[in-house]
A and B are shown apart, each in its own frame.
Chain A
């Protein structure tokens, strides 16, 4: 989802600029839930086959596995998706994210050195696309974006790096 917003209302006129807002794709949340479901089912089957003689251990593993899947799939990851926002302007990029503890990151555009993109197969459907922004002092990772948004952001950042001599 892209939204144009204006920041810097309290600052001088030079600091006023539009920035684009990006949020993780909903399809990614469904994909993660689906992957977790398959993993949990696989672990259940494997435990049932190989730990049939140790029923207590088998049930502990199955409960822990499904408990984690439900906790993350229905509570933590939806919170993460709801709270994650990426902002990109002409001068800087910002990220707000978190599950239990929330963090805000800020990076100047001119400190960006290069970017790496990870576009997984069928990512149009799954939303499993990532951008790694490598800069002076560290990196910022944009997770679970739409494929179109991933391509748009990466080309925008790439254009900036090219002109930022």
Chain B
């Protein structure tokens, strides 16, 4: 009986053996290089090699042994209606996920995995305990991957396919608009620090001198070298982020077939996400100020697991025009409706939108003046930094002023539409009304005078989200909410 059990355990389905190497420590390969070099020097005399480096060999063997055991104890089985996994120490945690509870399955294959013929598969349900990770993450062999995808796509075979492929120009615009400077800067700074650690500060100084000389050739004004270096890091960081975004979303295609939406993208790393349509919580049409001016928008969706990874965006339509967005959504999500704002903010309440950014704009020169009084020698750099920081603050003022004309809330046929502006971005979130878990309104002192209020609408998805919608007449807001069954009066 026990023998049967052991033998059946040995022959269980496991991940691709390449996973063993990813379970080792990140510096594992660096340990191998000197050992291999020594073996080569000893003309492959293994006995001498063992004698000299026995401790290193034992440590490497232990690291590799642990990685192997970790791989060995992670097992899985794909059934007709569920996937079962054994994870944790000695594979003791047995989980079973039924396919009817799955929200999304994301498969990716980078060049390394492509070379070895394996796929990374992430499976997600609405269970939200693991905030950053997925419910199941496996590296599958091609045969297991095909088996899983065949089962997932089986019920949709023969059904009509509706596909949407954005133009390449649209993808470039999307990447330009949604590139995050911050992530690029973090990566670049980390790279610089690591390089400095290895080969000293000479490279960093050389870099600063070269960048300084090149830029001074173009510019007539005198800028402090540190400012030029910071600006160049920001630009390079942004360019890096742009390149990553572009490569990630190249060849983007969205297909609706039966009850699922299949999203494919990627140039170097190919990605394919299968999303269950009935498990999409909300549709978010996003625009920044320029996109609004040029009447284009990007459509994101909120579904457990989709766009969850680092630097990933849960995009359904990368860039489309305002005219086409409803038609495209009708094709991909026929049940989606487009409610109108029943409650809008009024122009005369524009001060409620613009006061915070206005105060921010004012505070920057004041702070710069104080800093100059404390550090009079730093005038050039303080002036430069204040000028740089003033630009986004002024831009925020412009965006918030524009949001006076777009902010609103509406309810229609069991759906709610929430139009609001969060920092620099305009959102139009359409969500089933029963997904709203809590509604509250609050008044600032200014709003108390003008008898206005702001709404906070909490929606439940994989995590709880709060949508803040500002400046409505209190009476009208109460009436609208009461019509929807949210009675605010406390007796």
Contact = CB atoms under 8 A, between A and B. Distances in A.
Nearest to B124: A113
Q: Give the interface size bracket for A toward B.
A: 20 to 34
7 contacts: A113-B126, A113-B127, A134-B135, A135-B127, A136-B460, A137-B128, A162-B100
**Among A117, A135, A137: residue with most chain B CB under 10 A:** A137
Q: Give the interface size bracket for B toward A.
A: 10 to 19
A114 B100 contact: no
Interface in B417-461: 460
Interface of A: 113-120, 132, 134-139, 158, 161-162, 164-165
Interface in B69-90: 81-82, 88
B165 interface: no
Contact of A115 (B81, B95, B460): B95
A165 B125 CA distance: 13
A119 B127 CA distance: 22
Contact of B92 (A113, A120, A139, A158): A120
A114 B129 contact: no
Nearest to A163: B100
A165 B100 contact: yes
A134 B125 contact: yes
Q: Is the interface of A mostly helix, strand, loop or mixed?
A: strand
B238 to A, nearest CB: 38
A161 B127 contact: no
Contact of A134 (B81, B88, B127, B460): B127
Given A113-B125, A118-B92, A119-B92, 15 more contacts: A114-B95, A114-B96, A114-B125, A116-B94, A118-B93, A136-B126, A137-B460, A139-B127, A139-B129, A158-B98, A161-B100, A161-B101, A162-B81, A162-B82, A162-B98
Interface string B453-473: 000000010000000000000
A116 B93 contact: yes
B215 interface: no
B97 interface: yes
B100 A116 contact: no
Contacts of A135: 127
Given A113-B125, A134-B127, A136-B460, A161 B93 contact: no
B443 to A, nearest CB: 30
Nearest to A165: B100
Nearest to B304: A113
A32 B81 CA distance: 38
Contacts of B93: 116-118, 132
Contacts of A134: 125, 127, 129, 135
A93 B234 CA distance: 53
Given A134-B135, A161-B101, A162-B81, A114 B127 contact: yes
A115 B85 CA distance: 11
Contacts of A115: 95-96
Contacts of B127: 113-114, 134-136, 139
Interface in B106-163: 125-129, 135
Contacts of B98: 114, 158, 161-162
Nearest to B92: A118
B101 A119 contact: no
B128 A114 contact: no
Contacts of A114: 95-98, 101, 125, 127, 135
A151 B79 CA distance: 19
Nearest to B94: A117
> Which are the 8 A-B pairs with shortest beta-carbon distances?
A134-B127, A113-B127, A116-B95, A113-B125, A114-B97, A139-B129, A113-B101, A117-B94
A136 B82 CA distance: 19
B99 to A, nearest CB: 10
A128 B92 CA distance: 11
Contact of A136 (B94, B128, B135): B128
A27 to B, nearest CB: 18
B334 to A, nearest CB: 20
A123 to B, nearest CB: 10
Contacts of B92: 118-120
Contacts of B128: 136-138
Contacts of A116: 93-96
A66 B155 CA distance: 60
**Among A132, A134, A161, A162: residue with most chain B CB under 10 A:** A134
A122 to B, nearest CB: 12
A165 to B, nearest CB: 5
Contacts of A139: 127, 129
Given A136-B460, A165-B100, A118 B94 contact: yes
B94 A138 contact: no
Nearest to B100: A165
A61 to B, nearest CB: 27
B132 to A, nearest CB: 15
Nearest to B88: A118
Contacts of A138: 128-129
B257 to A, nearest CB: 19
Contacts of B125: 113-114, 134
A165 B99 CA distance: 10
Nearest to B463: A137
A159 to B, nearest CB: 10
